[in-house]
Structure 1
Amino acid sequence: MHPLGKIVVSGLALVVFCGTAYGYVNFQALDEVTRDSVIDADGGTSPGEQPADGSLDVLLVGRDARTDPQGNPLSPDVLRELRVGANGDDLTDTLIVLRIPNGTKAVKAFSIPRDSYVSMPGGKGKINAAFGRAKATEARRLRNAGETDKAKIDQSALTAARRATRQAVEDLTGVKIDHFAEVNLLSFSEISKAVGGVDVCLKAPTQDRNSGANFQAGPQRISGADALAFVRQRDNLRGGDFDRVRRQQVFLAGLARQVLSAGTLGDPGKLSDLIDAVKRSVVLDSSWNLLDFVGQMRGVSGGGIQFETIPIVNPDYRYDPADRRATAVQVDPAAVKAFAAGLIGPAAPPSSPAAPGPTVDVSNAGPREGLAARVSGLLRDKGFTPGATGNTATRRTSLVRFGPDLADRGAEVAKLLGGLTTQQSASVPAGHIEVVLGSVYAGPGAADGGGAPAAGDDPITSSGVVCVN
């Protein structure tokens, strides 16, 4: 089990958004928040600075930790209240980047699936493992160097882990992270209770013993352990981790509305509870001047945050030939970088091919409307000639067919679409490649617009409640 109930890292950012509503004086209480040197000394922003990449970027990290920011274990009573066990992994189960474009108040947020398979020190792996890898490596280095102070080893290892996570996100997205915030299980529960709960909506009732989830269909307000279960659940959800990512996003959108509402801003008790929860549980980078940040964020409204997810190639990527049961989320770093850049400006146009490639006919054997046309357009941008598109008889899995003379190009198409099964066939017309997209296809084009929701899913913003699985 890998709990995800740490989405509230962004609660801190939302608190600072509303800071000017009740003055800088109250905000000074946040001086006691835990700090760590996560951002390079030459990489921070000075007061009022407009970052060179066009956006102030905040990395929000949720960690599966049963400790407070100082490393003290949570008590058994607290763990029971949160419905979690005593053991936790050194994983970052929530990774969200807030992009705040220079000169505007339209905040863009995007999620990185925790199982995204990326390059990082020590070899390729899932991005949520960057934290644990760096933590173990640094602790081992210090012990081998003769360091015996456990507190010093633990703190240095945590700093290295946070920096490695930041670096992995930067390498994947091309975004220069300006600030960092981290929470754990307890902070999520406390912040959700401090704001009086968060409004969410489910399309159907659901239960899950592992997370403690037990929800009815329809709109509802959740807080504390229930809110934790809402964003932790992945079992008994059709889309697994991807449904859980949308759960995170709708919860964060609801949190934004609640924090920025008159009911929270006008209630000194709620504001005090919220600041106390942040002080007790959130870790920030050492360079983040919150008072200056509040000044930069004047005018941000509750409806001014839009949520998306990075584009993926294959959600069921079999990355280990020695263990075909091992799966990850395959991503194309170039596509992710273009997506992230496009959130604050025009996306880079696709490169023009040197010469037209073979014709690719695409058939949709699943339920998603417009899928064949989207995939055909993606292949056109990769240099292939668009062929016929349309629907065909329903089948579960996807297939790429081609004649012997186009074996190499057919394999290229299969790879571009996430590693689909290939088949040589004499029935395929000369000069053509045929792609059949099955009902479980989730590669490029499965989501309309890369990081946009799939067909039938409403976009998530902080302006209203969206029902999710």
Structure 2
Amino acid sequence: MIFAVVAGVGLRALTERYDRSVARQSLLDPAARRANGTASGPLNFLLVGSDQRPNASDSDARSDTIVIVHVPDGLRQAYLISVPRDLYVAIPPTATYPGGDDKINSAFEHGGGGQGGTRLLSATLSQLTGIRFDGAALIDFSGFEKVIDLVDGVRMCVDEPVRSIHTGTVFPVGCQQMDGARALDYARQRYGLPGGDFDRQRHQQQLLRAIMDRVAGADLLTSPLKFDRLIRAIGSAFTVDSNGAPIEDLVFGLRHLTAGSLVGVQLPSHAKDIDGISYVLLDPTADVLFRAVREAGMAHWVRDNPSWINRL
């Protein structure tokens, strides 16, 4: 989505720089992958951000962020469907994991993190939702920080005071400018918030919109050096699986996406303790949401379910 915003600056230069900087891996399980890679809609992408710490192995990481991005036919709208990390799901077996019921973010760990973890996570989601994916991206948070810093930070509006369990930073209520480290720290908090992880998901969706706002407003045309650094930072922040579709076609196809075209969706679900462990269980209307994604009915679903739409 960020690439779509800067595509107008120069598509050829964009794709050449991207091709040299981005890491490519097969991130989607065959069972979760749409048969033929395409750059025309509707499109479904899987975004995964891990909580891997510096110098830690892939197997020590869990998926801190899971977002299904649905782009309907016409490619002028994008629905961000955040998946709760504690969602109780059936995880398929692998060669090294027997399968079983667990939190969905454990699928990333059971798959070994990294490429294998994303593949198992995609298989778990596809089995749950019936959705096949047109691509996936594994997000490196340290690279994401650089992207935010290169556009001189983002403006985030804090609606509930929160203290970071990671850094001790206190985020007061009100709109404020945040650099990369501060913005990511804020967007990863869930403890102390009224909605817990659901509030964290909304903040992450708001951060994606804020980044797109800043990238669109960055003076890239008059600063080739800054443009080059931004493209390289974007490339280094993501490991990508485009499902065989040429990157140039995807960038060109998504060029009309803007920050205002993003719609934040909370997956219909609720928290519940099972044997002393906190899980999130799907509500019945979640199946209607999944069908809307599969059958190009998201506009109607959003209209009929305003309580599950996040204000971005």
Give me the TM-score of the superposition, normalised by structure 1. Answer: 0.58
Q: How far apart, CA to CA, are the structure 2 residues paired with 1:212 and 1:264?
A: 35
Which residue is equivalent to 1:3? none
Which residue is equivalent to 1:257? 213
Q: How far apart, CA to CA, are the structure 2 residues paired with 1:48 and 1:185?
A: 26
Alignment of 1:3-152 (within 5 A): 13-32=1-20, 33-39=22-28, 43=34, 45-50=36-41, 55-67=42-54, 73=55, 89-121=60-92, 122-135=99-112
Which residue is equivalent to 2:250? 293
Q: How far apart, CA to CA, are the structure 2 residues paired with 1:460 and 1:184?
A: 26
Q: How far apart, CA to CA, are the structure 2 residues paired with 1:300 and 1:162?
A: 25
Matched, 1:171 2:133: no
Runs of 4+ in 1 over 3 A off after TM superposition: 39-50, 86-89, 262-267, 343-347
Select the residue among 308, 312, 329 that pairs with 2:280: 329
Normalized per residue, which structure has more helix? 2
Identity %: 28
User: The residue matched to 2:277 in structure 1 has which SS?
Assistant: coil
Q: How far apart, CA to CA, are the structure 1 residues paired with 2:245 and 2:169?
A: 35
Q: How far apart, CA to CA, are the structure 2 residues paired with 1:210 and 1:161?
A: 24
Q: How far apart, CA to CA, are the structure 1 residues paired with 2:23 and 2:127?
A: 26
The one-letter amino acid of 1:38's match is L
Relative to 1, partners in 2 of residues 1:235 and 1:40: Cα closer, same or farther, differing over 3 Å?
Answer: closer
User: The residue matched to 1:95 in structure 2 has which SS?
Assistant: strand
Deviation at 1:24, TM superposition (A): 2.0
The one-letter amino acid of 2:169's match is A
* Conservation of the 8 A alpha-carbon contact between 1:258 and 1:264: no
Relative to 1, partners in 2 of residues 1:119 and 1:103: Cα closer, same or farther, differing over 3 Å?
Answer: same
The one-letter amino acid of 1:16's match is A
Q: How far apart, CA to CA, are the structure 2 residues paired with 1:40 and 1:276?
A: 27
* Conservation of the 8 A alpha-carbon contact between 1:63 and 1:93: yes
Unpaired segments ≥5 residues, structure 1? 1-12, 68-72, 75-85, 136-156, 350-447, 454-458, 462-469
User: The residue matched to 2:43 in structure 1 has which SS?
Assistant: strand
**Greater alpha carbon shift after TM alignment, 228-237 vs 94-103:** 228-237
Give me the TM-score of the superposition, normalised by structure 2. Answer: 0.84
Q: Deviations over 1:375-415 (max 9, x none)?
A: xxxxxxxxxxxxxxxxxxxxxxxxxxxxxxxxxxxxxxxxx
Q: How far apart, CA to CA, are the structure 1 residues paired with 2:85 and 2:103?
A: 7
Deviation at 1:318, TM superposition (A): 2.3
Larger Rg computed on CA atoms = 1
Q: Deviations over 1:221-241 (max 9, x none)?
A: 112221121112222222221
Which residue is equivalent to 1:311? 268
Which residue is equivalent to 1:460? 311
Q: Deviations over 1:267-316 (max 9, x none)?
A: 4343222212123231111635221101211322331111111100x31x
Select the residue among 200, 204, 208 that pairs with 1:244: 200
